[in-house]
């Protein structure tokens, strides 16, 4: 499965560079340098970000579901994405620090705070209901504060950006965004993947994991910090994209042996899903590009419902 | 393994308790609900930093590296929930720090679970699940085995099967401490019983001596008469 | 044409109820306490009113980020854009461009005995002139109005016989249409808007770069995706054969009196070779 998903991700990545062909060919006919600029400055960042962010959302969703032993945990349901968006918006719109680095820092702090509040509210091994309620409350609060910050921002354009921050988009991103986001995503992924064996032990409960020699506090810290880092950087450059982190681990779950074994396939699945969604949004609807979160929800929600209906133990 | 100075009662009890679990002993931990059996087992496993000191072969448990402790001591909680529908053999392998399929096979054989090694945990019956989780605790061949109600919700056949398995583990040289509610099973299976009441160990002796009518009446509020247990 | 303008701030220009001009016959009394309720009427009032005649402008009209005329609005009361916020000033004339908050506002104005003059959002250069004339008449400043129109026309200058194909674009890739007031004004700078009326994608811009790119700078140092668009690396990668000029985006929000100077500067930066 890992091999097939990798191939699929590579294929979609190539498609993301090539499609649509029209502007590329048009630019090439005019001046090959222009075609190269489109490829390097516009399509490459977009393809890399869609793959990397999708991958990270899948990875962190799988890790959080394992850590919290809760099938509904994911960056969006726990409020981490909404917290990251709030952090980025406060930095960029309220403090007028517009560098991508400052945005990423704000988003990482926002995601970390949201996760810390969630863990404080819902506690360890919390029931699904409690975790989801806390996550929904945090996400709603962060979303409301984001809207408020955008409404009060000095820039009259700010209010139009609500859709970007709430639904996400990889359009018109540049190599600067890649240069800031990718290292954070890589470090976050390494932190999470380093917790792989501990996640397996956690299926037996935190105390058994501890009795098996796993440092559960460090495990939790690595996953939460890794998620905050990666989700923060992702949201800072592409907004809060929902559903990938929730749905993909569920698609992978029946096909792998353990939570730790689900990490890499979930990352690949997330990369494939988001990059495919980003290909779809390039087809303009009524002259507008759809936001990524709209498409991931349009694909993801029915899939998820199907899963709930057909799987006896979702 | 020596446990000293642990005082589980809130408010503080009278005297420091000190218990010793020797290699090869199968020790039953008995007491009424809420007496502190689970708390004592968790303290012995080093999961709670109590006021007492738990030593393993003379070394304080807290001074042992986590990996060494995990290899020498295994703890099996009462709950049987597993967060992922894993394959049985993968689940048992979680008890090992390295890849060792023969050890997994041996542990599954020891609990007579080899037949469903390849099944998913969520397809097992309660009796099968209990034996698989026990295999997980046994797989690293620990010197000390601490088990919290491993026979709860099992039918008489599997209760006896699990106690027989624990006897084999003790005979092989491990110290086994098992919390039990079934006093008859405890009397018939264990070398020694620790009776715990209100957070204190009130008896530490051979089963016959611990389960005296006076103690049973005082601690459990029951007495044996007319071929059955009665409330007193 | 929602494009360059901050559409929410200008309110719906389409639903305008024209209020008859005050009869300036008889006593010929010019209004002495004039309030303006939105950015576009602010620009006209700040251009045309006599010293001391204007008692209130909208919050935006006093904001230098929105109009360079805001410098003249310092020391004047700032209103919220609703008629309620100026009743305490006892105005005798209220200028608006988009209407006054529906029937409630009209009713309030009637009860207060305030004359409301609507200066509709211009759709042509003639509209822009007519607005100046209309505002001047309402203010009792006909002479100042004619002078302002003369300055406006002088700054615009004639439309050159040869026009260069160009793309006028603001943050986020928003463009004005190929016909309409912005396109007409660009002609006075010697430019013909090639495409427009919708959002231009960076990719489309790179695939077919215009001969001249006019970047409209407006709130561009601030945090917003639109402003970030203007900083995108790909814009810097456009071929050097393309002329790139910038214009003060504030003037293009209302396309009122200040826009003529913006057109003149655009023309001179194109002919002067500077960008």
Residues of chain C in contact with residue A174, where contact means CB-CB under 8 angstroms, are 232-234
pLDDT at A274: 94
Rounded to the nearest angstrom, the minimum Cα separation between B96 and chain A is 8
Say what the pTM is.
0.82
A neighbours by CB contacts (3+ pairs under 8 Å): B, C
Say if residues A23 and A34 touch (Cβ distance below 8 Å).
no
Q: How far apart are CA B223 and CA B7, in angstroms?
A: 28
Percent of chain A whose predicted confidence (pLDDT) is above 90: 37
Say if residues B149 and B180 touch (Cβ distance below 8 Å).
yes
- Do A and B make contact via 3 or more CB pairs under 8 A? The reply is yes
Q: Which residue of C has its CA nearest to A89?
A: C223
Rounded to the nearest angstrom, the minimum Cα separation between C153 and chain A is 30
pLDDT band for position A60 (cuts 50, 70, 90): very high
Q: CA torsion angle for A119, A120, A121, A127 (degrees, to 10)?
A: 40
Polymer length of chain A: 314
Rounded to the nearest angstrom, the minimum Cα separation between C79 and chain A is 17
Mean pLDDT of C50-54: 89
Mean pLDDT of A43-63: 95
Mean pLDDT of A143-159: 86
Mean pLDDT of A8-35: 86
pLDDT band for position C274 (cuts 50, 70, 90): very low
pLDDT at residue A165 tops 70: yes
pLDDT band for position C129 (cuts 50, 70, 90): very high
CB contact C197 to A (< 8 Å): no
Mean pLDDT of C251-273: 88
Please give the biggest Cα pair distance in chain A. Answer: 67
Q: How far apart are CA C207 and CA A70, in angstroms?
A: 48
Number of A to B CB contacts under 8 A, please give it.
61
Q: Which residue of A has its CA nearest to B95?
A: A212
Polymer length of chain C: 275
Number of A to C CB contacts under 8 A, please give it.
105
Residues of chain C in contact with residue A92, where contact means CB-CB under 8 angstroms, are 223-224
Rounded to the nearest angstrom, the minimum Cα separation between B22 and chain A is 21
Mean pLDDT of C163-191: 89
Query: Among C251, C17, C24, C272, which Cα is nearest to C139's?
Result: C24
Mean pLDDT of C206-213: 85
CB distance A66–B84 less than 8 Å?
yes
Mean pLDDT of C128-157: 92
pLDDT at A127: 66
pLDDT at A189: 96
pLDDT at residue C253 tops 80: yes
pLDDT at residue C196 tops 80: no
Min mean pLDDT across A137-151, C135-149, C198-212 is at C198-212
pLDDT at B17: 62
CB contact B106 to A (< 8 Å): no
pLDDT band for position A235 (cuts 50, 70, 90): very high
Q: Which residue of A has its CA nearest to C7?
A: A156
Bigger pLDDT: C107 vs A249: A249
Min mean pLDDT across A70-84, A195-209, B5-19 is at B5-19
pLDDT at C9: 38
Scan for tokens 């820092």, then name that residue: A105
C neighbours by CB contacts (3+ pairs under 8 Å): A
pLDDT at C12: 36
Angstrom CA distances, B222 to B140, B213, B214, C208, stand at: 39, 8, 9, 94
pLDDT at residue C243 tops 50: yes
**What would the two tokens of residue B164 be?**
């027989």
Mean pLDDT of C151-174: 89
Q: Which residue of A has its CA nearest to B61?
A: A211
pLDDT at C10: 39
pLDDT at C185: 93
Tell me which residue in A203, A211, A215 faces B82 most closely, judged by beta carbons. A203
pLDDT at residue A50 tops 50: yes
pLDDT band for position C25 (cuts 50, 70, 90): very low
pLDDT at B33: 86
Tell me which residue in A23, A26, A164 faces C225 most closely, judged by beta carbons. A164
pLDDT digits (tens, 9 = 90+) for C53-108: 999 999 888 888 889 988 888 888 988 888 878 888 888 888 888 766 555 666 77
pLDDT at residue C149 tops 80: yes
Averaged pLDDT in 10-residue chunks for chain B of 232 residues? 50 53 88 83 78 74 83 88 87 88 89 88 88 91 90 88 91 91 89 86 85 84 82 82
Residues of chain B in contact with residue A313, where contact means CB-CB under 8 angstroms, are 85, 122
pLDDT band for position A47 (cuts 50, 70, 90): very high
pLDDT at C11: 38
Say if residues B186 and B162 touch (Cβ distance below 8 Å).
no
Q: Which residue of A has its CA nearest to B118?
A: A257
CB distance C8–A161 less than 8 Å?
no
CB contact C143 to A (< 8 Å): no
pLDDT at residue A267 tops 90: yes
CB distance B83–A203 less than 8 Å?
yes
CB contact B188 to A (< 8 Å): no
pLDDT at C27: 41
CB contact A172 to C (< 8 Å): yes
Min mean pLDDT across A130-144, A203-217, A284-298 is at A284-298
Rounded to the nearest angstrom, the minimum Cα separation between A21 and chain B is 45
CB distance B86–A211 less than 8 Å?
no
The ipTM of this complex is 0.84
CB distance A157–C225 less than 8 Å?
yes
Q: How far apart are CA C75 and CA C55, in angstroms?
A: 9
pLDDT at B60: 78
Q: Using beta carbons and an 8 Å cutoff, which residues of A are at the interface with B?
A: 66, 69, 200-205, 207-208, 210-215, 257-259, 313
Q: Which residue of A has its CA nearest to B83?
A: A203
pLDDT at C8: 37
pLDDT at B11: 37
- Do A and C make contact via 3 or more CB pairs under 8 A? The reply is yes
pLDDT at residue A22 tops 90: no
Min mean pLDDT across B11-25, B68-82, C188-202, C224-238 is at B11-25
CB contact C222 to A (< 8 Å): yes
Q: What angle do CA A254, A258, A264 make, to 5 degrees?
A: 85
**DSSP for chain A, written as a single string:** -HHHHHHHHHHHHHHHHH-SHHHHHHHHHH-HHHHHHIIIIIIHHHHHHHHHHHHHHHHHHHHHHHHTT-TT--TTTTTHHHHHHHHHHIIIIIS---SHHHHHHHHHHHHHHHHHHHHHHH-TT--HHHHHHHHHHHHHHHHHHHHHHHHHSSSTTGGGGHHHHHH---TT--HHHHHHHHHHHHHHHHHHHTTHHHHHHHTT-HHHHHHTT--HHHHHHHHHHHHHHHHHHHHHHH----SHHHHHHHHHGGGSSSHHHHHHHHHHHHHHHHHHHHHHHTS-BTTBPPPHHHHHHHHHHHHHHHHHHH-S--
Tell me which residue in C209, C229, C239 faces A172 most closely, judged by beta carbons. C229
CB distance C224–A160 less than 8 Å?
yes
Rounded to the nearest angstrom, the minimum Cα separation between A69 and chain B is 6
Percent of chain A whose predicted confidence (pLDDT) is above 70: 96
pLDDT at residue C184 tops 60: yes
pLDDT at A206: 83
CB contact C64 to A (< 8 Å): no
pLDDT at residue C24 tops 50: no
Angstrom CA distances, B1 to A240, B145, B218, stand at: 54, 11, 29
Q: Count the neighbouring beta carbons within 10 Å of the beta carbon of residue B16.
A: 12
Mean pLDDT of C236-253: 85
Percent of chain C whose predicted confidence (pLDDT) is above 90: 28
Residues of chain C in contact with residue A23, where contact means CB-CB under 8 angstroms, are 203-204, 206-207
Q: Count the neighbouring beta carbons within 10 Å of the beta carbon of residue C179.
A: 13
What lies within 8 Å, CB to CB, of C101 at 6+ separation is C82, C83
CB distance A201–B94 less than 8 Å?
yes
Averaged pLDDT score across all residues of chain A: 87
pLDDT at B6: 53
**What would the two tokens of residue C78 be?**
């700032």
């Amino acid at each position: 499965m890992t091999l097939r998903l990798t191939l699929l991700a590579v294929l979609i990545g190539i498609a993301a560079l090539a499609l649509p062909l029209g502007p590329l060919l048009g630019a090439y006919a005019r001046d090959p340098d222009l075609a190269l600029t489109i490829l390097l400055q516009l399509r490459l960042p977009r393809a890399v970000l869609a793959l990397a962010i999708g991958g990270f959302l899948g990875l962190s969703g799988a890790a959080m579901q394992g850590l919290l032993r809760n099938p509904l945990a994911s960056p969006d349901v726990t409020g981490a994405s909404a917290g990251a968006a709030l952090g980025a918006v406060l930095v960029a719109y309220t403090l007028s620090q517009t560098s991508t680095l400052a945005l990423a820092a704000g988003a990482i702090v926002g995601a970390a705070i949201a996760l810390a509040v969630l863990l404080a509210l819902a506690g360890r091994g919390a029931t699904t209901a409690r975790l989801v309620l806390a996550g929904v409350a945090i996400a709603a609060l962060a979303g409301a504060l984001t809207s408020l910050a955008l409404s009060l921002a000095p820039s009259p354009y700010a209010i139009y950006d609500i859709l970007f921050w709430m639904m996400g988009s990889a359009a018109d991103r540049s190599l600067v965004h890649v240069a800031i986001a990718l290292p954070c995503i890589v470090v976050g992924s390494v932190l999470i993947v380093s917790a792989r064996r501990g996640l397996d032990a956690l299926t037996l409960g935190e105390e058994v994991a501890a009795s098996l020699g796993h440092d559960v506090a460090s495990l939790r810290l690595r996953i939460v910090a890794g998620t905050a880092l990666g989700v923060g950087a992702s949201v800072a450059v592409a907004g809060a994209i929902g559903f990938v982190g929730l749905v993909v681990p569920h698609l992978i779950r029946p096909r792998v042996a353990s939570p730790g074994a689900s990490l890499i396939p979930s990352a690949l699945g997330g990369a494939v899903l988001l990059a495919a969604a980003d290909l779809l949004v390039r087809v303009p609807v009524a002259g507008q590009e759809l936001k990524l979160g709209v498409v991931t929800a349009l694909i993801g929600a029915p899939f998820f419902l199907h899963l709930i209906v057909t799987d006896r133990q979702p | 393994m020596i446990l000293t100075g642990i005082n589980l009662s809130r408010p503080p009890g009278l005297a420091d308790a000190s218990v010793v679990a020797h290699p090869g002993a199968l020790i039953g931990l008995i007491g009424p609900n809420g007496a502190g059996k689970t708390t004592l087992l968790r303290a012995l496993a080093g999961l709670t930093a109590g006021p007492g000191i738990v030593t393993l072969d003379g070394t304080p448990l807290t001074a042992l590296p986590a990996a060494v402790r995990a290899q020498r001591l295994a703890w099996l909680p009462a709950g049987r929930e597993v967060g992922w529908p894993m394959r049985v053999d993968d689940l048992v392998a979680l008890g090992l720090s390295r890849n060792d399929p023969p050890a997994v096979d041996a542990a599954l054989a020891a609990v007579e679970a080899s037949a469903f090694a390849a099944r998913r945990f969520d397809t097992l019956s309660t009796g099968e699940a209990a034996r698989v989780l026990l295999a997980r605790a046994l797989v690293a061949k620990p010197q000390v085995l601490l088990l919290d109600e491993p026979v709860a919700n099992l039918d008489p056949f599997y209760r006896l099967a699990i106690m027989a398995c624990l006897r084999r583990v003790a005979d092989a040289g491990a110290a086994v401490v098992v919390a039990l509610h079934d006093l008859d099973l405890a009397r018939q299976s264990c070398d020694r019983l620790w009776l715990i009441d209100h957070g204190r160990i009130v008896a530490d002796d051979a089963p016959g001596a611990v389960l005296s009518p006076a103690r049973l009446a005082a601690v459990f509020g029951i007495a044996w008469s007319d071929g059955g247990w009665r409330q007193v | 044409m929602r494009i360059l303008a901050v559409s929410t701030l200008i309110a719906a220009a389409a639903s305008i109820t024209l209020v008859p001009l005050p009869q300036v016959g008889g006593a010929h009394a010019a209004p002495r306490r004039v309030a303006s309720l939105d950015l576009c009427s602010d620009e006209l009032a700040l251009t045309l009113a006599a010293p001391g005649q204007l008692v209130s402008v909208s919050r935006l009209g006093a904001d230098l980020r929105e109009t360079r005329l805001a410098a003249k609005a310092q020391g004047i009361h700032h209103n919220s854009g609703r008629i309620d916020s100026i009743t305490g000033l006892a105005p005798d004339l209220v200028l608006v461009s988009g209407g006054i908050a529906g029937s409630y506002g009209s009713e309030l104005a009637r009860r207060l005995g305030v004359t409301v003059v609507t200066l509709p959002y211009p759709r042509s250069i003639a509209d822009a002139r007519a607005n100046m004339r209309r505002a001047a008449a309402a203010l009792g400043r006909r002479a100042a109005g004619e002078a302002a129109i003369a300055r406006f026309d002088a700054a615009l200058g004639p439309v050159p016989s040869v026009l260069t194909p160009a793309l006028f674009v603001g943050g986020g890739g928003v463009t004005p249409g190929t016909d309409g007031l912005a396109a007409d004004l660009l002609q006075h700078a010697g430019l013909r808007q090639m495409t427009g009326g919708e959002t231009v994608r960076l990719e489309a811009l790179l695939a077919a770069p215009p001969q001249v790119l006019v970047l409209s700078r407006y709130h561009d140092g601030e945090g917003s995706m639109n402003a970030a668009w203007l900083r995108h690396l790909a814009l810097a990668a456009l071929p050097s054969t393309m002329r790139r000029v910038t214009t003060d985006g504030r003037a293009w929000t209302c396309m009122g009196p200040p826009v003529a100077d913006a057109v003149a500067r655009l023309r001179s930066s194109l002919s002067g070779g500077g960008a």
